Amino acid sequence: MKLQLRETRLKSIPTLLLLSVFCLSGPGHTSPPQPQAQAAKSPVLAAMEAELDRSIAALGKLDPPAYFINYTVTETQRAEVMGSNGALLSSQEARSRWLEVQLRAGDYQLDNTRKVGDRQASFSGSPGAPVPIEDDAAVLRRAIWLETDRQYRGASEALIKIKTGKEVKVETADAQAPDFSREKPQTFYGPRASFALDRRPWEEKVRVYTRAFRESPTILNSIVTFSAVAQNQYQASSEGTRLQFGQLRYRLELFVQGKAPDGMDINRYYNFDWTDSVGAPDDKAVLERAKFMRGELEALVAAPLVEPYAGPAMLTGRAAAVFFHEVFGHRAEGHRQKDITEGQTFARKVGEKILPEFLSIYDDPTARRVGSSILLGYYPFDDEGVQAQRVKLVENGVLRNFEMSRSPLVGFPNSNGHGRRHVGFAPVSRQGNLIVESSRQVSNAQLRQKLMEEIRRQGKPFGLLIDDIAGGFTFTGRGLPQAFQVLPLVVYKVFADGRPDELVRGVDIVGTPLVSLTKILATGDTPEVFNGYCGAESGSVPVAAVSPAILISEMEVQKKETSTDKPPILPPPAHDPQAKGTRP
């Protein structure tokens, strides 16, 4: 991610830069009520409250006053088992805690977080520090005390610069909105999330799963990773918010690499997600998926390249979900409408038609599942202590709202629970579960027929079927073209004369948002889910996007970046008749 370019990127794991995709067929989403079970208050939260009372009483009287303080402690328990090519790479478990202090000097209308022109006056550095994992109130309060002092000093210096800068900088209409919104305090004490895991069975599983990939001489490398993550968050603010809640996630990721004769790298990726210990996929399901991935990779290595193209295309639900996340979702994040360095694509379009009238979009972080698939973008409260809310963003093609944090906009004075961040970053408005609905649905088979009709109508030699993707990114900053790029992995040429589809490789989807969104002709009737991790200004956060397949009248693809390194000269040892003492 390149923040200076305002680039946002979807990926599943940072080391592989891949998108995590999961497909389903099933009924519409469900939004269970917020949990009501109350647990005992954690000693961590009690220590935070005690230091908060002391800090706000003293710092609130200084000049400039600290008018708002929020303490967050995030506790993470993580276990990870990784294997490659039939052997164990690593197996480990760790637990950590991170303290974040959000301190605002000034008042709700003007504080130290304001941007003056294109510059942020607040001091650099992470808003937090590691703290002990033991429930020692005295040690925790000492860490909070030191971090609070550091944050106040930085905030007061930043506010002086902001007030000075306002005298010489032009202030836009968007900057007339307050810097911080007033929100209702929240109180919830949930049970602590944790797991007890014997890693030895998973160590054997990753050996078995990656050993299966060794049967193919085309696969150069394979990695399988199992992870279990329990994360608990404790929040206490000077406004009265008191929260403790946790979430537990499990994930199994399969990744294989190959190389085409012309040097192009070919990757295939798949993951399973679940939220309880009994939800893990069985060996049969995993090995069947591994066999399917092997077949796809072998076919892609042998597939021909396709030249740059503009014409009709059908995106399956997995690819369509990424399309909407990149093309629409990031541009509907509230803080991008306020920042003068942003493109502000939709800032003045509330009440205007931006999509075909048969499409509606909402973001619902309260939804845990769609059918049988979990949604990674679920959370009960955001990272600013606001309860998660379902937000209607587009209604029958008309833009209605934005994903809002506690940074208000003119006409949108309050948060709707979308202030999010990765540990160690300051929260901004981010997507949760972006869900696309359509009133012009046909079966996926009928949608394919419509694709062929559109190919004939336009007189094109073929159309494209985008079946799977590796990720995507978009540029939202004003200094670069307002463009997006989606990175397909499995692409087929579809011929209107009835010839069999032809698997091709080597293209990326490109375009600009305002034009691309109007080119959608119809959708399928089966929602599919993308689960992944999205990187932007506030770090990497778990998200989901849900969409049916879509038919687009015109989509442009360009040549994919590639390598010129040839495949290995010799075959793998296990597949070399001349090699001795080896076996698959």
Q: What count of Cα atoms within 13 Å lies in the side-chain half-sphere of residue 202? A: 24
Say how many C-beta atoms besides its own lie within 10 A of residue 409's C-beta.
21
Is a pLDDT exceeding 60 seen at residue 120?
no
CA distance linking residue 575 with residue 570, whole number of Å: 10
CA triple 278-279-285, angle to 5 deg:
120
Is-contact 557 336, C-beta < 8 A? no
User: Based on the domain organization, do 210 and 133 belong to the same domain?
Assistant: yes
Which candidate, 347, 264, 329, places its Cα nearest to that of 473? 329
One-letter amino acid identity for 563?
S
Is-contact 512 289, C-beta < 8 A? no
Which candidate, 216, 212, 218, 197, places its Cα nearest to that of 286? 212
CA distance linking residue 249 with residue 420, whole number of Å: 18
One-letter amino acid identity for 65?
P
CA distance linking residue 203 with residue 283, whole number of Å: 13
CA distance linking residue 414 with residue 401, whole number of Å: 12
pLDDT tens digits for 21-70? 333 323 334 343 444 558 899 999 999 999 999 999 999 999 999 999 99
Residue 579 lies in a domain: no
Backbone angles phi, psi at 48, to 5 degrees: -65, -40
pLDDT of residue 7: 45
Residue 489 lies in a domain: yes
Residue 37 lies in a domain: no
One-letter amino acid identity for 8?
T
Residue 582 lies in a domain: no
Strands 309-315 and 463-475: parallel
Q: State the sign of the Cα–Cα–Cα–Cα dihedral 85, 90, 91, 93.
A: negative
Alpha helices, H only, 214-316: 283-302
User: Based on the domain organization, do 247 and 364 belong to the same domain?
Assistant: no
Who's near 404: CB < 8 A, 6+ residues apart?
A: 334, 391, 412, 414, 415, 416, 418, 419, 429
User: Based on the domain organization, do 144 and 190 belong to the same domain?
Assistant: yes
pLDDT of residue 122: 52
For residue 453, give the H/E element and its range: helix 444-458
Q: Phi-psi region for residue 89, left (φ > 0), alpha (ψ -120 to 50) or beta? A: alpha
User: Based on the domain organization, do 289 and 359 belong to the same domain?
Assistant: no
What's the token pair of residue 459? 């007189």
User: Based on the domain organization, do 252 and 327 belong to the same domain?
Assistant: no
User: Based on the domain organization, do 387 and 508 belong to the same domain?
Assistant: yes
User: Based on the domain organization, do 17 and 78 belong to the same domain?
Assistant: no
Residue 487 — pLDDT band, cuts 50, 70, 90?
confident
The DSSP symbol for 575 reads: G
Q: How many residues does the chain have?
A: 584
pLDDT tens digits for 305-324? 989 999 999 999 989 999 99
Residue 334 lies in a domain: yes
- Per-position DSSP letters for 101-130, written without gaps between them: EEEEEB-SSSBTT-EETTEE-SPPS-SEEE
Higher-scoring residue by pLDDT: 508, 387: 387
pLDDT tens digits for 15-26? 322 333 333 323
pLDDT tens digits for 503-562? 999 888 888 888 999 999 999 999 999 999 998 889 999 999 999 999 999 999 988 888
CATH number at residue 279: 3.30.2290.10
Residue 68 lies in a domain: yes
For residue 522, give the H/E element and its range: strand 520-523
Which candidate, 149, 235, 123, places its Cα nearest to that of 187? 235
User: Based on the domain organization, do 285 and 324 belong to the same domain?
Assistant: no
Q: Sheet harboring 373-374: ordered strands across?
A: 29-30, 369-370, 373-374
Who's near 66: CB < 8 A, 6+ residues apart?
A: 55, 56, 59, 60, 103, 104, 105, 152, 155
pLDDT of residue 173: 60
269 by DSSP, 3-state: which? strand
User: Based on the domain organization, do 248 and 234 belong to the same domain?
Assistant: yes
Say how many C-beta atoms besides its own lie within 10 A of residue 14's C-beta.
11
Is a pLDDT exceeding 60 seen at residue 11?
no
Who's near 319: CB < 8 A, 6+ residues apart?
A: 466, 467, 468, 469, 486, 488
User: Based on the domain organization, do 208 and 105 belong to the same domain?
Assistant: yes
Bridge partners of 487, per DSSP, are 471
What's the token pair of residue 534? 């999205």
User: Based on the domain organization, do 351 and 232 belong to the same domain?
Assistant: no
CA distance linking residue 386 with residue 388, whole number of Å: 6
End-to-end CA distance of the chain: 39
Task: State mean pLDDT over 103-118.
Answer: 88
Number of domains within the chain:
2
Task: Decide which of 248, 281, 302 is a domain's last residue.
Answer: 302
Is-contact 263 291, C-beta < 8 A? no
* Percent with pLDDT over 90 in the chain: 73
Is a pLDDT exceeding 80 seen at residue 13?
no
User: Based on the domain organization, do 479 and 380 belong to the same domain?
Assistant: yes
- pTM (predicted TM-score): 0.90
Residue 566 lies in a domain: no
Backbone angles phi, psi at 43, to 5 degrees: -60, -30
Q: Which domain holds residue 479?
A: 3-30+305-559
Instruction: Supply the mean pLDDT for the chain.
Output: 88
Alpha-carbon separation of residue 524 from 231, 321, 394 (angstroms): 37, 13, 19
Task: Decide which of 234, 269, 302 is a domain's last residue.
Answer: 302
Residue 402 lies in a domain: yes
Task: Decide which of 302, 326, 361 is a domain's last residue.
Answer: 302
Residue 150 — pLDDT band, cuts 50, 70, 90?
very high
Task: State mean pLDDT over 143-152.
Answer: 96
Task: State mean pLDDT over 409-436.
Answer: 96
pLDDT tens digits for 137-146? 999 999 999 9
CA distance linking residue 560 with residue 104, whole number of Å: 45
What's the token pair of residue 421? 């961040």
Bridge partners of 469, per DSSP, are 488
What's the token pair of residue 282? 């069985």
CA distance linking residue 354 with residue 562, whole number of Å: 35
Counts of helices then strands in the chain (DSSP H, E): 7, 29
The DSSP symbol for 377 reads: T
Task: State mean pLDDT over 178-194.
Answer: 96
CA triple 25-553-18, angle to 5 deg:
50
Is-contact 405 418, C-beta < 8 A? yes
Is-contact 575 464, C-beta < 8 A? no
Residue 347 — pLDDT band, cuts 50, 70, 90?
confident
